[in-house]
Chains A and B, each alone.
Chain A
Amino acid sequence: DAGVTQSPTHLIKTRGQQVTLRCSPKSGHDTVSWYQQALGQGPQFIFQYYEEEERQRGNFPDRFSGHQFPNYSSELNVNALLLGDSALYLCASSSVKGYEKLFFGSGTQLSVL
């Protein structure tokens, strides 16, 4: 079992550009959550997807959007990138039946120049 996989591992963009990050959940998981971890900070919840719909959302602007596909994989899109969007973006997967089984991927390090 590959666990939660994220791609790419590193990404460099410039201000104003758009970026798409990808996540494949652990086998058997149907829920995907995204977190942003700025340098020296704890992860902050962006949003969560289940059954291809956004179920919960944190305090992030509409520039942050997402999608979940029928195979439960997910994408995080960020438009009009700002320098402050530079962070480690973590994907976590779980099953709606078992809250404690939350697995995190290794993350995508996004640098905005």
Chain B
Amino acid sequence: AQSVTQLDSQVPVFEEAPVELRCNYSSSVSVYLFWYVQYPNQGLQLLLKYLSGSTLVESINGFEAEFNKSQTSFHLRKPSVHISDTAEYFCAVSGLSNFGNEKLTFGTGTRLTIIP
């Protein structure tokens, strides 16, 4: 079984400042890791994922996350945030499956609020 801990329920950040959203996971097996974003009244959108290979993964809108196996972490960072980044961010983990569609286990989310 896997579990995900998002240490911060709310993170207020000034516009153009850097931000880090923390995520730690627990698993007895190898995992895939994900960050999803949820804007108000919308479903979840995949922001970025780690499946294998380079431990640093990037999204198209400036976010990046680094997989740290020894610390079982997958923190999300952005060097300069914008008002449009205001949203709820969820870290998720899944086990590896031959079926190819393993269920996701989500953290409780971090609400990122950008202050103008």
Stretch at the interface among B14-22, B36-44, B67-75, B78-86: B36-44
Contact B51 A42 (CB under 8 A): no
Determine if B100 and A104 form an interchain contact, defined as CB atoms under 8 angstroms apart: no
Q: How many A-B residue pairs have CB under 8 A?
A: 63
B97 — nearest CB in chain A belongs to which residue? A99
B21 to chain A, nearest CB (A): 13
Q: How far does the alpha carbon of A43 sit from the alpha carbon of B108 in the complex, in Å?
A: 8
Considering the chains assembled together, what is the distance between the CA atoms of A100 and B32 in angstroms? 10
Of the candidate stretches A13-21, A50-58, A69-77, A78-86, the one touching chain B is A50-58
Residue in A42, A44, A50 with the greatest tally of chain B CB atoms within 10 Å: A42
Q: A48-B101, A97-B100, A99-B101 are in contact. Are A42 and B41 (CB under 8 A)?
A: no
B108 close to A94 (CB less than 8 A):
no
CB pairs A–B below 8 angstroms (28 shown): A4-B43, A33-B101, A35-B104, A41-B108, A41-B109, A42-B107, A42-B108, A42-B109, A43-B90, A43-B104, A43-B106, A44-B106, A45-B103, A45-B104, A56-B103, A58-B103, A90-B43, A94-B101, A99-B97, A99-B102, A100-B46, A100-B49, A102-B101, A104-B36, A104-B43, A104-B44, A105-B43, A106-B43
